[in-house]
């Protein structure tokens, strides 16, 4: 399976805001891989994104994790998103912003 079909990445950037959603079919292994990648990039960049989970019990068919930066004046989040995509081996976002 193509990695971009397994994990669909969307990026949205506005004035002083940047966000990425990672939508995936809910498996424990894939969720753990995504969470580990977020933790790794957070430590590597020393950035502190807000991470939100859309599911209550992690059993929904489609799940998503949201990574957001508020007050992103310098657009530093772009580096975070690029590193995260690379870590997850995703080479293209669904909306192709990055």
CB of 54 within 8 A of CB of 63? yes
Rounded to two decimals, the pTM is: 0.85
Give Cα separations from 19 to 2, 22, 58, 60, 76 (angstroms): 23, 10, 21, 22, 12
How far apart are the C-alpha atoms of 83 and 38, rounded to whole Å?
9
Report, as ranges of residue numbers, the positions in the chain whose pLDDT lies below 70.
1-2, 56-60, 72-74, 93-98
Strands 17-25 and 62-70: antiparallel
Domains and CATH numbers, the chain: 3-87 (3.30.70.260)
**So what's the pLDDT on residue 33?**
95
Please list, in sequence order, all residues whose beta carbon lies within 8 angstroms of the beta carbon of residue 71, skipping any fewer than 6 positions away.
16, 17
């Amino acid at each position: 399976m193509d990695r971009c079909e397994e994990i669909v990445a969307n990026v949205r950037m506005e004035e002083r805001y940047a966000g990425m959603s990672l939508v995936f079919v809910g498996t424990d292994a894939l969720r753990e891989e995504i969470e580990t990648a977020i933790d790794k990039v957070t430590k590597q960049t020393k950035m502190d994104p807000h991470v939100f989970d859309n599911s209550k019990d992690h059993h929904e068919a489609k799940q998503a994790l949201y990574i957001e930066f508020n007050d992103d004046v310098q657009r530093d989040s772009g580096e975070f998103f690029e590193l995260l995509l690379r870590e997850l081996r995703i080479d293209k976002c669904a909306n192709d912003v990055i």
